[in-house]
Each structure stands twice: as structure tokens, then as C-alpha cells.
Structure 1
Amino acid sequence: MNDAGRFLGAGLVNTAFTVVIYQVLLFWLSATSAYAGAWLVGLVFVALVYPSHVFKGGRTGSGARVATAIVYLLGFAIGLATVKILDTTFSAEHVAIFGALSITTIFNFVLMRVVLRGWER
């Protein structure tokens, strides 16, 4: 399986957890706060799993894990802005996460692959 396939598989697991946590947190928190809480859980998953199991043959040391977390945090900022815009504009708090996931998935794959494997692979 290639990077994209492994990213898709790990991403589906992470996304399922993220969406469930987000929907549960909506009972107590705003859409943006629920999104932040869900992504915090996802951050731990990504930093632990992606360098070793998704982008095989790439960097796996502590620096790679920190870099992966930084990329994921940048994706978080992009996703948070997307959730806020969709919720504010369309009152779509329960579906806003899917718009954010669409945008951040592409961003995270491209940037994490570059960080962990470089441009040439």
C-alpha cells in the first residue's frame, strides 16, 4: 500500500473518532470549541501513528513527530476557520466539520508527506 492508501486508512480511523467526539461535545460546547476538543485528541493520534505507520520509509524520530504535530496544528487552524465560517454563515454546526475535513485532509496529506518524506519521493 502506498502513502495515500495508508493516509486514507489512518485518516478514516482518526476522522471517525474526531466526528464522534465533535458531535458529543456539541451537547456542551460551541461548534468551534467542540472542533478544538476533537482535534486535540486527533493530534495525539497523528503524532503517534503517522510518522511510523503512514509515511513508511520517512523520518520517524521525535523531530518528525513534532513536525507532524505542527502540520496538524496548521490544518487545525484552517479547519477551525472553516467551521466558524460555515456555522456563522449557514447555521450548520452539525455538518460544518465535514467541510473542514474536506479541506484539511488534502492540506495535511500534502504537507505531512513533504515533511516526513521530502519532495522527491
Structure 2
Amino acid sequence: MKRSRWLAVTSAVQLTSDVAGFVIADRRRLPADPVGVHLHVPRTHLVRSSALLGTGQSAPIVMVAAQVWATWRLLRGPDETARKTLRALGVAMVGGYLIERGSPLWPGHRERWATTAFAVGLAGSAAMAALARR
């Protein structure tokens, strides 16, 4: 399988974990809460704030939309712009996963489904960044 196809499949798996993370965050009312930044996002505004900030378990909707676009383009064939987009998103998402205060990496936040979605999302993001290298 071509490298661009592997990148598209990896991105699709990562997208699936991101959707699962959004569902988990929505059910638990977990807004984005990065370490070192106190956003004070009201739990009642979770869906609205997730457009640009993401949630405690998922990327911002604008990033997800860009990832869907780039993945679609790569599934159609090699595409330099899509590759660069997925590389940038992968790098940014790895950082986002690592700085989230309520992530399963922190003691007291581990839970079966959330930890699984988080681990797949983090690994998928890192794999996207690596596969999208030139």
C-alpha cells in the first residue's frame, strides 16, 4: 500500500477516535481545559466552544473538518496539500492531547472508554505526523 494511502487510513482511524472523544466529552460535559491556561468554559456551552477550542477529549471542529477534507483528498490519490495539512494537524493534535488537564494521562482520570479513545487519538495523531513526512 502506498504511503499516502496509509496516511489516509491512519487519519480515518484518528478521526473515529476524535468523534468518540467528542461523544464522551459531551456526555460528561468536559470542555477543553489545557494545563497552564484557564479558559473557564461553561459546561453548558460545550458544543458551541468545541468549534474553536475542542473538548476535553477531542480536537476543535475546525481541525476535524480540515482533517476530513485532507483525508478525502488522499483517498482519491496522492495530494501534497492534503499531506502537509495532515502533518500540521497531527503535530498540533499531539500537543493538544498532551496538555489537556483532564486526559487519561493524569492520575484520577482513567476510564476504560475515554482512555481507549484518548490512546488511539494520540497514537493516530503521532502516526499522522510521522507518515506525512516527506
TM over 0.5: no
Q: Report the TM-score, using the length of structure 1 for normalisation.
A: 0.38
Q: Report the TM-score, using the length of structure 2 for normalisation.
A: 0.35
Greater per-residue helix proportion: 1
